[in-house]
């Protein structure tokens, strides 16, 4: 099946706003059930866009600075892969950024083993921090933060279509995208892309990233200002698309 990669439906703000409302009301189980209902309607038609190495194909002006994952057995080099079309789009976005600014890739591809190990690590940390929480409560909390391999569709990072990004100056210093002291705001939603408590500087910086990415067809996960995806089922969900074209890729390294 041929898929026109240049024509997409608009964002489904009705659905996105419903998810925002459920999240703001801390209705974790309802959030997942509501999202699942719509994800089940997305058909994945894999287009076999190859998974390519960022080391070899990314624009030289894009910086690679992965979040550290303190998990034994995870090789950071295995995270430096994305689909060919995604890389091409990122290269174009970099070319259009103001001089002296650079996209910074903080996370890219994750295989199933990585996701499961991340879950185990976060579960352990939550258990230590909140010993009174039951295993079921921790699992529900984590699934609102981390898409899992046993979900109804593959997690975006496992498809090679999702990426976590920041923007930095020439010297590698990040431009302000979050409040430097989260205790001042005392609001866990400060990392949400749109937040009324953001300073003008941070808001404008986030909008630079947001507008640069959405211009080339990416969609943002509203709970994480840094997370964008293209072609995966979550992208399709936010774009009113009935089909997505990235499932679990073939890995030819």
242 HSE (CA, 13 A, CB side): 0
| Res 207: pLDDT | 95
| Res 178: pLDDT | 84
- 236 found inside a domain: yes
As given in the structure block, the two tokens for residue 21 are: 């409302």
Nearest to 110 by CA among 245, 248, 252: 248
Share of the chain above pLDDT 90, in %: 80
Distances (CA, A) of 168 to 30, 100, 102, 174, 175: 37, 8, 5, 4, 5
**Model confidence at 135: pLDDT above 80:** yes
CATH of the domain at 39: 3.30.1380.10
- 252 found inside a domain: no
Neighbours of 195 (CB within 10 A): 17
- 8 found inside a domain: no
User: Poorest-confidence range of 6-20, 33-47, 52-66, 143-157?
Assistant: 6-20
Q: What is the mean pLDDT of residues 8-35?
A: 90
State pLDDT tens for residues 48-73: 999 999 999 999 999 999 998 888 88
- Looking at the structure of the chain, the number of domains it has is 1
d(Cα 103, Cα 122) in Å, to the nearest integer? 27
| Res 250: pLDDT | 83
- What's the length of the chain? 253
- 90 found inside a domain: yes
Q: At 180, is the pLDDT very low, low, confident or very high (cuts 50, 70, 90)?
A: low
Q: What is the mean pLDDT of residues 181-203?
A: 74
As given in the structure block, the two tokens for residue 174 are: 């990040």
| Res 252: pLDDT | 65
- 253 found inside a domain: no
Supply the range of the domain harboring residue 179.
13-244
Q: What is the pTM of this model?
A: 0.91
State pLDDT tens for residues 206-229: 999 999 999 999 999 999 999 999
d(Cα 242, Cα 127) in Å, to the nearest integer? 38
């Amino acid at each position: 099946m041929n898929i026109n990669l240049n024509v997409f439906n608009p964002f489904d703000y009705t659905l996105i706003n419903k998810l925002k409302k459920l999240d703001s009301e801390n209705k974790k189980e309802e959030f997942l059930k509501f999202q699942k209902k719509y994800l089940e309607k997305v058909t994945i038609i894999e287009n076999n866009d190859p998974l390519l190495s960022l080391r070899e194909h990314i624009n030289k002006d894009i910086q690679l600075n992965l979040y550290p994952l303190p998990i034994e057995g995870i090789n950071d080099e295995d995270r430096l892969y994305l689909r060919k079309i995604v890389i091409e789009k990122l290269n174009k976005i970099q070319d259009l950024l103001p001089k002296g600014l650079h996209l910074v890739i903080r996370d890219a591809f994750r295989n199933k083993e990585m996701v499961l190990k991340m879950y185990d690590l976060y579960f352990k940390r939550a258990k230590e921090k909140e010993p009174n929480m039951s295993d079921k409560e921790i699992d529900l909390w984590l699934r609102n933060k981390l898409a899992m391999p046993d979900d109804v569709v593959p997690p975006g990072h496992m498809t090679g279509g999702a990426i976590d990004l920041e923007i930095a100056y020439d010297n590698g210093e990040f431009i302000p995208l979050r409040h430097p002291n989260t205790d001042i705001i005392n609001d866990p939603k400060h990392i949400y892309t749109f937040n009324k408590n953001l300073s003008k500087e941070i808001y404008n910086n986030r909008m630079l990233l947001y507008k640069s990415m959405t211009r080339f067809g990416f969609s943002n996960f509203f709970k994480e200002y840094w997370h964008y995806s293209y072609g995966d089922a979550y992208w399709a969900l936010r774009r009113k698309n009935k089909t997505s074209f990235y499932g679990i890729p073939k890995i030819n390294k």
